[in-house]
Amino acid sequence: MERRTFLKTSSYLCASGVLPVTALAANSTSFTFSEQDTQRLSSEQLDTLAIEAPKVAIESPNGDAVQITLKPAVARRYNANIFVYFETSSEINVFDLSGNSSGTIKLPQGFSSLNDFAIEPNQQLLYLIERGQHSVTVANFYGDKLTEISEFGTELDAQLNGPKKITLDTHGHVHILEMGTASIKVFSNNGAFLYSYGRSRLGKKPLYRSLDGTQHILVSGGKLNDRKWVFNIDTRKLSALN
């Protein structure tokens, strides 16, 4: 995919190098530890930064105009930028680590409800899981849809049935948590299926809920959302942390 220059704001890609371990990076509520270049953020963590959510005007049953504040649906930190998708929004809002707004990234036309997203900052790409869809849409920071990864199906490994969460590793591979098989499927950035991991060999499906990370993919789940696993992309080994 050809790299294009993103002009809307220069702050998206200005950060480089390793960040110091801040309270934000060290106290992830999703995992027992987090890598310094990526992290999922909870609503509580966003509140501590006093991030201002967008508001939309709606008409009440009696005809009055009412403003409502959108709730954050997905929030992820990549390096020194925080990317937040607010429910029903048509864009992803970007903030710095102090909670100051840095701009927005437009979603492709027709997108209004995301299950999850991942960011490839260097190539300025979005990887999007739309609610109710069984593929991953790849778009640029201008909102142009570039391609799709996979399609619905249950017969082939390369097909998806209920993609829920997504992250990108340091090789540029796309890790997709699939609910239909209770496993994580890995694709190249051009959409070729590579391998899968995490599927139980004993017939009982593990309850995975989320994943994050780059060099080591961190998986969370369990009935009480208190289980943690880590996947090493070099050895391709998934190990339980607790």
| Domain parsing of the chain, residue ranges | 22-240
Tell me the CB-side half-sphere exposure of residue 87, using CA atoms within 13 A.
Answer: 7
Which three-class secondary structure state does DSSP give residue 25?
helix
Type of residue found at 135: S
Beta-bridge mates of residue 77: 39, 82
Which three-class secondary structure state does DSSP give residue 75?
strand
Question: What is the reported pTM?
Answer: 0.83
Mean pLDDT of the chain: 85
**Other C-beta atoms within 10 Å of 45: how many?**
21
**pLDDT above 50 (res 32):** no
Note the pLDDT tens digit of each residue in 121-144: 999 999 999 999 999 999 999 999
| Residue 211 burial by Cβ neighbours in a 10 Å radius (0-12, 13-18, 19+) | buried
In words, the CATH class of domain 22-240 is mainly beta
